[in-house]
Structure formats: C-alpha cells, structure tokens
Amino acid sequence: MMNKNVEKSINEQIKKEEFSSRLYLAMAIWCESNGFPGAAEFLYKHADEERVHMLKLVHFVADRGGKAKLMPMNPPEQDYKSLLEVFKEIMKHEEYITASINELYGVALKENEFTTANFLQWYITEQVEEEKLFSTILDKISLVGADKAGMFHIDKELEGMAASKTVPEAGA
C-alpha cells in the first residue's frame, strides 16, 4: 500500500499537472487568435505533454495500490497582453512546478518511499529541461521587443519546434 502522505502529495501534483495542461491550452487559444500560429502550435503540443505528466502520476498511484483523485480547479487566465507576457507567465509557472516536485520528492524521502523517490527522478530531470527551454524562448522574445519582423521569426521558430516535438506515451 502506498503511504497516505505520499498519496495525498501525488494527488496534489496530479492537479497541478492537469492545471498546467489547461493553462497552456488557454495560452495556445490566445496565441492562435492573436496572430501567433507557431506559438499556438507549440503550446497545444505542450498542453498534451502536461497531460502525459499528469497521466504518468495517475498510473503510478494505481500501480502502487493507491487511488488517484481528480480535484476541482479554477479556470486558467485566458487573456494576455502580449506573447512576452505569455512566456513570462510560463516561466513563473514552471518554477512553481519545479518547487512543487522538489517538495514532493522531500515527502517521499521523509516517508522512506524510495520507489516513489526513484520514480520522481524523471520529473526532476524534466523540470530542468523545461526551465532551460522556456528561459531560452523567453530570452529571444525579450530581445526582439516590439519588432514585428523579429516576432514573426520567433513565431516561425516555435512552429518548427512544435513540428519536431513528439509527445511521449504516458507509460514510457
């Protein structure tokens, strides 16, 4: 049986990953209707990835004899002032998720749940990758400022990144 504190913390993380997916979906919708089709494509895919992050946790809880619970949540922000604001918010959100994963890892260690701690290593590595990716994109957007040609170029770049991204299976 899964330790109750660990189960509760994982369920909170399930909610956060589900929210991440909805947040990026809301941002993708904003990008699509504000002239950034490449950024939209990139964020639609990223929303799918967050859903996989959620599903991996759901399967892990089930495999360990626990019970995954879905929780109510408030809708994400759907209005943004600019693409810069979108990516600033993403960066802030990912830093929050990293802190949350680290906290969850701490709970697993405290409860001597080494299998869970081992499983969470994947998320720790993933967060490093995500923060690196989003800080690179954010730097680029900050650099071009309000320059229209620069923004067009960035949107194209995001489109290329979306095309080369494959969303992994939750069981992988």
Q: Which residues of this chain interact with ligand FEO, rule CB under 6 A?
A: 17, 20, 50, 53, 94, 97, 130
Shorter beta-carbon distance to ligand FEO: residue 94 or 155 = 94
Three-state secondary structure call for residue 93: helix
The CB-of-153 to ligand FEO minimum distance in angstroms stands at 25
The CB-of-145 to ligand FEO minimum distance in angstroms stands at 26
Shorter beta-carbon distance to ligand FEO: residue 33 or 166 = 166
| CA pair distance 60, 51, nearest whole angstrom | 14
The CB-of-53 to ligand FEO minimum distance in angstroms stands at 4
Shorter beta-carbon distance to ligand FEO: residue 76 or 150 = 76
